[in-house]
Amino acid sequence: MLKKRPHPSAVRRLLAMAGAAVTTGLVAQTAPTAADKPAPSAAGEEDVVILSPFEVTAESSTGYAATQTLAGSRINTRLEDVGSAISVVTAEFLKDTGATDNKTLLAYTTNTEVGGTQGNFKGVTGGKSEDEGGRLVSPNGTTRVRGLTSADNTRNFFSSDIPWDGYNTDRIDMQRGANSILFGLGSPAGIINTTTKSAQHRTFGSVEFRYGAFGANRVSLDYNQNLLDDELSVRVNLLRNDEQYKQQPAYSLDRRMFATLRYDPKFLNRGGSRTSIKVNFENGTVRSSNPRTITPTDCFTTWWSKVDQAAYDPNRVQNSGYFYTLDASGKPTYGTDGKQTGGYYPADAGQYNVGKFNTQVWLGAPSFYGGIWMPVPEGTTTPSAYLQPEYATIGGLKSTGAIDGGIGGLPFSRRVTMATSAYVAERDPSMPYRAQGVWKATTLSDPSIFDFYNNLLEGENKSEWQNFKNFNASLTQTFFKEKVGFEAAYAVELYRRGQYSFGNTLFVDINSKMIGGAANPNFGKAYVESGNTWGNGLSGITHESSRMTAFATHDFNEGGKKGWVWKLMGKHILSGLYSQEMYRSDSRSFKRYGTEDSFSQLVALNPATTVRGLNANERAVSTTVYLSDSLAGASSPEGLYVPRAGGAVQVSDNAQFRYFDATWNSNVNPADPWTSTYNNEVLTQSENPANYVGWKDAPVNILSAEDGDAGALTFGATLNKRKVDSRAAVLQSYFWDGAIVGMYGIRHDNVKSWAASAFVPTAWPAADHVDLGYIIPSGRVDAGMQQYSTVGRTYQLTRANSPSWSVVAKLNKFLGKFGERLPVNVSLFYNESRNFQVAGTRNDIYGQPLPPPSGQTNDRGLMLSTKDERFSLKINKYQTSVLNSSNSILATWFLLGGGNFIQRNEDRADAYEYHLTSVGDPNSVAETGTTTGSWTWRYAPRTINGVPETQEQSDALAASAVAAWRSYTKEPIVQRILKAWGFNDFNGIAPTTMSTPVSNFTATEDQLSKGWEYEFTANPTKSWRITFNASDTKAQRNNVGGAALQEFVDLTNRYENGPVGDMRQWGGGQTTPDHPGLNSWNGNFYQTYALMRLQEGTNTPEIRRWRFNVITNYGFTTGRFKGVNVGGGYRWEDKIAIGYPMKTNADGSVGFDIENPYYGPTSGHFDLWFGYERKLTAKLDGRVQFNLRNAFDGNKLVPLTTQYDGTVAAWGIAPVRTWTVTNTFSF
């Protein structure tokens, strides 16, 4: 159990002392000696490229200190004149630390977080389970700034989805908080902009070879060729980066090509005018199976700790019905009412359903239901068989001879697993605080069970990919010696990404038999499995942008005019911007494997009229990969060292499917009596399995998304398109000889957004699937039952004016000659800015448009620097707020996705009201008072405290639940939702579907972050570089869900806590005395929602209040160590709130004790490096550097979430020690 402890004040004392030391150091500085001054550029005078006001390059930086930026106004501005929070990462910083992307950089920078194995952020939700699967496709995109949300990725200040890499990067500009001057549209949390390398008018090049831990290797080329002297140059960059990881077989192979051209035509560059044309292009691919940072979910160790390695027969454990005793002659017995007597629940079955005589609450459901099951033996990649995992008795008859879809002699059978603690809490009435839904699934913490440090549980059975192209061109023209000018720029980007997922839960097979009754050959074996439905998909994104920027500058003091008036009026730069952007995205969700429509004939309720939809469980193709021999008899799970899965499973496109053929094959009268050999129940011959064809093999075609069938396997898709027209004007004013620097900007954005969605219902009248095509973007596409296109759709229109202004006051200039004698420069700054983020079309739960996320930032603080600018300190007090931010956690499938709780409850209400034996089948209406059918939708009597209910009492309970549901669906709020989403067939019998699902339903929240940021940069000598940054952050979320969702959830929760919550979800035989509907509501949605609502006003997940980083490097320029450089860094993070205890409030309600959270530990990591460089020949330089990251860290876990009592629920894998050796040859 983790102890609660107060926040220490040590960090404040440390920063206070550091601040004092830094200030003292600043005051003590003297002017640099000649030996200390930076060396002149290696390029000759004739190689100097005169930069336009629209560009900055790496040459404008010294060491870790950058002096200029475009990130304030898109015009080249000194950083000291910008009031907003901008940090610049220089090429020197990247070289020293070995950082090449977001994953390896953002842990070093100010108030930023990033995911991945070397990151400082996991993206924890705090819900009942933690799943990082969706983040694996692009770990570089898992970022957070100021504890709010992810930063927007930009490239040369154009929006981009391509993950940047250092091979073609000059510098990184990080804008924290909103900046409407720079981006009226963008993440309110901030911007991460990469400036790509540009061609220079000289010839040079370099080749870099890097080898690292776990077999990682990286090769890059940078070559620049001057074609026309000081006029035309080209530059080419190539990359092959093969990242390998401690977790095998994880990898990431990144291959890219980048080319750029610069043309400064001499015939146009005369008379005070300059023309420059720049073009660049990049093409790349990434193929990966990225490592995991959260340990596997544990459905393994409880086989020992909870059920003592018990074995369960799937033919008995899932069955909800009675077994019956026979008399001495083997005949059934009857009571005076004519009903069969001697009913009992078998003592050794371990009943799955709560409320039975011998319920075992630790039994859980598998990852899939129905369809085709492919068990893969340990050590192989080929399924041993293609089996039916549960009966589909579609041809079963009732006593009249008509099809009712059930065979009573075949029990409902489904494999069982060990359950997670979160699932147990839904079903076990004895679990504390289960009604509040606070229990979470636990993950493994013992590597001797499965070595998650060194292995991916799923082996080679998951993968991710990215493909991208980017083209950028610009024309820059200035006049009158850079006093007036414009830049016309164009950019287009094509980006595709996708993934094939697999499970990350460790199971053990506890099933003693197969459903056909044979012994299970895999009993006791460890395994990992996947239903191959969820988590597979692709997205295509297109950005196309054009931008015109113009400026004019005027200096009233130009020409040495005398007088305070001219000095006061100073210098002014007026710039304007007009831009257009077209954004298109096409996102698809598909099954990894599935079956053709013809397979429906084996599983449809009525093959003559109904085809089961692609998204139905009966169409699934699921995989179980066994990992070990049988572990039955092992005294403990500790020390078993279960191996990972091996190679990717090889699925046959044409398989022999073993299934039970429920076709009548007998001459007996279906109405004749028959005593079941399964449970001794007296039924009719229609329920006798021996009267049907029975087990047989049939050839089945299996579709594979990996083999080109993704279109046929697509079950959901969303198109988004937006067109943005933007205008902005910015005035930069330098008053009183630059003593006051003001900036004011106003931006107007006009945004049109379109969206369209398509989905596959569970069943429809004709064999069909959504054929979406694969051209992105596309026009009209026939999507079966729907039109999958934005053509002709109404757009959402958003208009916004976003002002920004800042002021910097340089005190030294106010003080005249006295200020010149001060040892430091002192500046005060203030910044206020707004922006909004176009997140595409977003709608609330009623289908009404949501306003875009909007942000507001205030920065104020102090800047100190030495006169030679080798030392600088910036202290910033900030506050950033975000309204209507998207909350991806709450918009779950259970709320309004396929198979949501409205569809589920409506279909169940129909089944109970109309006595159906199969949900959604109008032909399965049972005779009044009968219970025929393999899964009868009629409430069975319960036994509560030893007192059995009558059937009449059970029927009354069902009627009460149905009546309450009918009342719920008549509520005005619910009626609005039913209309918006196109729910149909209410109060009928056919399956409930959604004909017009709301595109891009989004839950929202408001966010607030405030705190302090500290940045110190020093170049004490030309050889010594130091940088330090720290942040004190408090980030909170409020108004979780938004007003529309809140009123709907509040209404639904009231009903769920009444008779609606008693509606049995999985058949009338679910005779639990608890509330199955309520448990499902709490476990699948309300638990997470309630926790987030209760945490309003508290820190957001994974917030570490304090963090700091210090990095230094020293290079020897003389003596025996000439050419040697040594350096290091230290990254420290504060403790972290990972859970809350429960408490009873004064009004008797139960909630979280948010004043006394459970804390995870602090974190500290050392990085070290050293290198050596020298001339190898007159034209060839060589450099070698060794980097050791997390130098003193080994295998270690960090707690991520806790149960209500402080017991750790989810564990994360801490960053591990890695190393690289980099050889660079420059010429």
Least confident range from 255-264, 326-335, 520-529, 644-653: namely 326-335
Q: 182 with 77: CB under 8 angstroms?
A: no
pLDDT at 762 over 50: no
Q: Of residues 811 and 320, which shows the higher confidence score?
A: 811
CA distance 181 to 858: 14
pTM, full prediction = 0.87
pLDDT digits (tens, 9 = 90+) for 1167-1187: 999 999 999 999 999 999 999
Q: What is the pLDDT of residue 47?
A: 46
Mean pLDDT of the chain: 84
- Which one-letter DSSP state was computed for residue 766? S
Q: What own/partner pairs with CB < 8 Å and gap ≥ 24 does 118-122 have?
A: 118/1189, 118/1190, 118/1215, 118/1218, 119/293, 119/1215, 120/1107, 120/1131, 120/1133, 120/1163, 120/1215, 121/1102, 122/293, 122/294, 122/1102, 122/1200, 122/1212
State which of 1081, 1110, 1142 marks the end of a domain: 1081
Question: At 795, is the pLDDT very low, low, confident or very high (cuts 50, 70, 90)?
Answer: confident
Least confident range from 145-159, 565-579, 673-687, 997-1011: namely 997-1011
Question: At 46, is the pLDDT very low, low, confident or very high (cuts 50, 70, 90)?
Answer: very low
**Mean pLDDT within 1069-1076:** 62
Q: What is the pLDDT of residue 1?
A: 47
Q: What is the pLDDT of residue 1107?
A: 96
pLDDT at 329 over 70: yes
Q: Is residue 684 part of a domain?
A: yes
CA distance 1168 to 768: 60
Q: What is the pLDDT of residue 44?
A: 40
Q: What is the pLDDT of residue 909?
A: 86
Q: Is residue 952 part of a domain?
A: yes
Q: Is residue 529 part of a domain?
A: no
Q: Is residue 582 part of a domain?
A: no
Structurally, the chain folds into a number of domains equal to 2
pLDDT at 15 over 60: no
CA distance 345 to 1166: 61
pLDDT digits (tens, 9 = 90+) for 877-936: 999 998 888 876 766 767 766 678 888 888 888 888 887 766 655 555 655 444 444 445
105 three-class SS = helix
Enclosing domain of residue 985: 893-993+1041-1081
Least confident range from 314-323, 857-866, 1002-1011, 1142-1151: namely 314-323
Across 294-298, 396-400, 574-578, 966-970, which has the greatest mean pLDDT?
Answer: 294-298
1137 alpha carbon, distance to own chain's centre: 21
Across 8-22, 466-480, 588-602, 1055-1069, which has the greatest mean pLDDT?
Answer: 466-480
Q: What is the pLDDT of residue 879?
A: 96
Q: Of residues 1079 and 925, which shows the higher confidence score?
A: 1079
**Mean pLDDT within 411-421:** 89
State which of 711, 736, 761 marks the end of a domain: 711
Q: 116 with 142: CB under 8 angstroms?
A: yes
Q: Is residue 861 part of a domain?
A: no
Q: What is the pLDDT of residue 355?
A: 63
Share of the chain above pLDDT 70, in %: 86
CA distance 474 to 276: 8
Share of the chain above pLDDT 90, in %: 49
Query: 């050999």: which residue's tokens?
Result: 677
Q: Is residue 668 part of a domain?
A: yes
Q: What is the pLDDT of residue 894?
A: 75
pLDDT digits (tens, 9 = 90+) for 450-495: 999 999 999 999 999 999 999 999 999 999 888 999 999 999 999 9
Question: At 183, is the pLDDT very low, low, confident or very high (cuts 50, 70, 90)?
Answer: low
Q: What is the pLDDT of residue 482?
A: 86
Q: Is residue 176 part of a domain?
A: no
pLDDT at 320 over 80: no
985 three-class SS = coil
CA distances from 307 to 298, 304, 312 (A): 15, 6, 11
Q: Of residues 360 and 602, which shows the higher confidence score?
A: 360
Least confident range from 2-11, 636-645, 1096-1105, 1139-1148: namely 2-11
Q: Of residues 950 and 775, which shows the higher confidence score?
A: 950
Question: At 1164, is the pLDDT very low, low, confident or very high (cuts 50, 70, 90)?
Answer: very high
Question: At 165, is the pLDDT very low, low, confident or very high (cuts 50, 70, 90)?
Answer: very high
pLDDT at 1197 over 90: yes
Q: What is the pLDDT of residue 787?
A: 60
pLDDT digits (tens, 9 = 90+) for 921-951: 555 565 544 444 444 577 878 777 778 888 8
Q: What is the pLDDT of residue 765?
A: 37
Q: What is the pLDDT of residue 322?
A: 75
Q: Of residues 921 and 234, which shows the higher confidence score?
A: 234
Residues with Cβ within 8 Å of residue 691, at least 6 apart in sequence: 664, 665, 666, 668, 670, 685
Q: Is residue 1210 part of a domain?
A: no
State which of 711, 734, 757 marks the end of a domain: 711
Q: 1226 with 204: CB under 8 angstroms?
A: yes
**Mean pLDDT within 1025-1029:** 94
Nearest Cα to 586, choosing from 756, 724, 422?
A: 756
**Mean pLDDT within 1130-1151:** 89
